[in-house]
Amino acid sequence: MSDACCGGDEAPEPRGEEAAPARLWQVGELRFAAVAAALLLAGYGAGWAGAPDAAGLVLKAAALAVAGWTFVPGTVRRLAAGRIGVGTLMTVAAVGAVLLGEVGEAAMLAVLYTIAEGLEEYSVARTRRGLRALLDLVPDQARVLREGVERTVDPAELRVGDTLVVRPGERLATDGVVTSGHTSVDTSAITGESVPVEAGPGDEVFAGSINGTGVLEVGVTSTAADNSLARIVSIVEAEQSRKGTGQRLADRVARPLVPGVMIAAVLIAVVGSLFGDPLTWIERALVVLVAASPCALAISVPVTVVAAIGAASKHGSLVKGGAALEAMGRIRTVALDKTGTLTRNRPAVVETVPASGHSRERVLAVAAALEERSEHPLARAVLEAAPAPERAEDVEAVTGAGLTGTLRGRAVRLGRPGWIAAGPLAGDVARMQHEGATVVLVEDEGALLGALAVRDELRPEAADVVSALRCAGYRVVMLTGDNRATATALAGQAGIDPGDVHAELRPEDKSRIVGELRGQGPVAMVGDGVNDAPALATADLGVAMGAMGTDVAIETADVALMGEDLRHLPQVLAHARRSRAIMWQSVGLSLAIIIGLMPLALFGVLGLAAVVLVHEVAEVVVIGNGIRAGRTRALGLVSAATAPAREGEPARG
């Protein structure tokens, strides 16, 4: 554990999936605290029952040893390395109490601090799934042409210049450039594009992409250790390491507090001894150390964190620990992925333009008849727009172009502009493409029937969410791998400024832009796919769309929105702002008590027993204040975005 219950200079070693505590009783620190508390009560009970003083002292000493084992060894190791924190002061305070002969008070301090550490450990417990989802995107074997012979090799054996053979439905083992063949490629795992892209000779394709209908030959341009997926893993690991080195609230407060208190105690003992009774002033110096023990400070943050995380989970948001909660309260910019976040990642027919003399229904009917047995991702969109379609006969796929078939004895075709002439609809086709749609044309016996525009549309709540975020003072940015026309069109509908739209991005590009945005203030990145993982890790706060997100996105993120309703985002941000304000209130009260007790202990106004009593009362107060973070309610978009922001505004900086 760290020096402070709420984090130290080093990130704790991640526990495995099986070891991560899911219940309070599974947290080691809390089990130690329970045993120590029982021993301490038994020690006091022995005294009340008239047992020999030695029996009670032994029980209290045992309680101190059990509770102290959870933090004293680690504190000593960190102190030897030159790092100090709340745990350092707690250790010194406990030693001071023992030197004053108050073993029971020392044990009480240790038990309370151990409980604080246990609560923090519980608050940061999470399900760790690793980056295994990325490994699943790379096939176990790759087909390669060497010396004119097709061979099966391990992807790790691929060399730059090799020729991959990729059959329909197979994933690419590494990055490369198409040298032969035409197909549609599903690149959603890498670029986030919701609609497959057409690929032919000269086009770049990426590891993990899924080949559509045609056989491809691909010239390898990257080894398995340096392809798109490998770079994603590298970025995620580096950024998670960066996050792990960041200090958290209690240690930021403790860093100047601990040396200051220790120096003050030494000065009290030395100066007092020069001008008065050395034993009296040494005793007062020890009482000052106990007065400065940060019990309330140590327990205030984890109590607030546990309460706030529990409340957030009731409203569909999983917050992975105190660091995430604190970071969320400081966010100034929200970067949103497009596909699967602002949109549903379900392409739909958004417009049908019939040619002169034909109806919209006829265009959809012919298109659906051809797509009825197609496995192309756009087929579902066409079929949903035209229920109960007929079935065309002799349907054949023309790689990279479209479909041909026969319907009621008539030759029909569906395909991209260029393969089918747009004719009088050329203007409409250009307009729909400019608006970010994928356009297909439908033909009957050589005559143009019409055009269909297919696009991944915004979630119904997207515009309201963006408006709520902007009203709360956040800057909203879109990051996407889709083409600029699609991104600009959808951003306009969502209410995002054109200057805040970044399109045609690779995963490393998203990470780079998030890094640039962080230079202007804390950034939250919201995404759902493998391609978002580097940006999620780079951001001060990563937010995953949990219900539909990939394992790697959920793992990398600090917060997961467990449903598909984007309205949870402004709600959880507002909740975090309020919780952070409560956290600072408790920290301020804890520091005020320490500052108030130290002079009283210095001049002998309060003895050790009175100081410990004040600490106990303070702990009850800060626990009660922290529990307020769990008293939340389901908020509408406007109130969630604005009211908590006003309440928590002093804590934003």
SS3 state of residue 445: coil
Gap between the Cα atoms of 54 and 84, Å rounded: 35
- CA separation for the pair 166, 181 (Å, rounded): 10
* Bridge pairing between strands 163-166 and 216-220: antiparallel
Q: Which residues pair with 342 in a beta bridge?
A: none
User: Mapping DSSP to helix (H, G, I), strand (E, B) and coil, where does residue 4 land?
Assistant: strand
- Closest of 491, 458, 496, 460 to residue 476, by C-alpha: 496
| Burial class, 186, CB count within 10 angstroms (exposed 0-12 / middle 13-18 / buried 19+) | buried
Distance between the two ends of the chain, CA-based, in angstroms? 28
Strand order in the sheet with 447-458: 343-354, 447-458, 438-444, 410-415, 402-407, 393-398
DSSP assignments along 455-497, one per residue: EEEEPTTHHHHHHHHHHTT-EEEEE-SS-HHHHHHHHHHHT--
Stated length of the chain? 653
User: Is-contact 308 320, C-beta < 8 A?
Assistant: no
Task: Report the 10 Å Cβ neighbour count for 309.
Answer: 25
Gap between the Cα atoms of 341 and 498, Å rounded: 18
Q: Is 358 exposed, middle or buried (0-12, 13-18, 19+ CB in 10 A)?
A: middle
> What distance in Å separates the CA atoms of residue 511 and residue 527, rounded to the nearest whole number?
12
| 337 is a catalytic site residue | yes
> CB neighbours of 251 closer than 8 A, spacing ≥ 6?
2, 3, 4, 6, 7, 8, 9, 85, 86
One of 337, 456, 464, 558 is an active-site residue; which one? 337
Residues that are catalytic: 337
